[in-house]
Structure formats: structure tokens, C-alpha cells
Amino acid sequence: MLAIGARAPEFTLPDADGQATSLSNLLRDGPLILYFYPADFTPGCTREACQIRDLHTELDAAGLTVAGVSPQTPESHRAFREKYKLPFTLLADVDRFVIKMYDVRGPFGFGVRRATFLIDQARLIQDAVLADLRIGEHEAFVRTAIALSTRSH
């Protein structure tokens, strides 16, 4: 997993609508919460996505953008987004290129670790959490990022 203080690598991936989306584009309006998750529609990933969805108004007020990355296709992401009314970007890393760049591959290179990064507009990683099964840690991380960003706004 990339370290706090490291520069977040630039990337471009298709979103749920098949549109090319870059890290720079995601950062244009403010800091970014970039989270990696194993798969659309799995119980843990659905719970995590819905927790972030339920914090969307607060995220917006704090000036934070959110994007989720997993190896499913744009079509899968679109169905996931529509079913759970997710108001944030989902990116399709089918080749797991960005997953490798951010060093969040699962054990022996299989799967994806559940990781969340807070990235500032200079592309520096301000904070990060890695918790494969403890989804509540990711929600707490997002809440802390909201509190910090609200204070600096």
C-alpha cells in the first residue's frame, strides 16, 4: 500500500458510463477520497458503498470528491451504482493496473485489498487505511476526512 506522504500515481480509467476519468480530473475541485474494493454486489462492498453514499451530503459540504475502484467492468459498475443510488464515481480497473500502482493487490496477487486514501490536490497522500474485513474502519476514516476538511474549509 502506498505510504502517507507519497505522491499518488496519475491514472486514467473508464467510469461506470465508459468515460475516461483521470486522477487529475477527480482532483480538480478539491481533495479526493479514493477507495479500492474487491467487487460490486458483494455484501461487504455493498455495505461500504452505501455507508459512503449516506455520507455524501457531508462529503460534498466538506469539498471532498469520492471515487471507488475495483476490477469489474463499467457495465457492472453502472448496475451497482443504479441499484444502490451511488452518487459518486466508480472506476473500472479490469486489468488491475491502478490496483498494482497503489499496491493494494490481495495475497499472492489475487483479488483487491479494501483500502482508502485521502489525496490532496497536489496528489499527495494525506492519510490512508487498509482494513480488508473491518468495513467500519473505512467509514470512520471517511468521517475523519470530512471533519478535517470541514475545519480547513
CA end-to-end distance (rounded Å), the chain: 28
Of 16, 27, 33, 45, which is the active-site residue? 45
CA distances from 102 to 2, 18, 50, 82, 151 (A): 6, 22, 23, 27, 28
Residue 46's SS3 state is: helix
Q: State the Cα–Cα distance between residues 10 and 74, nearest whole angstrom.
A: 20
- Is 45 annotated in the active site? yes
Could you list the active site residues? 45
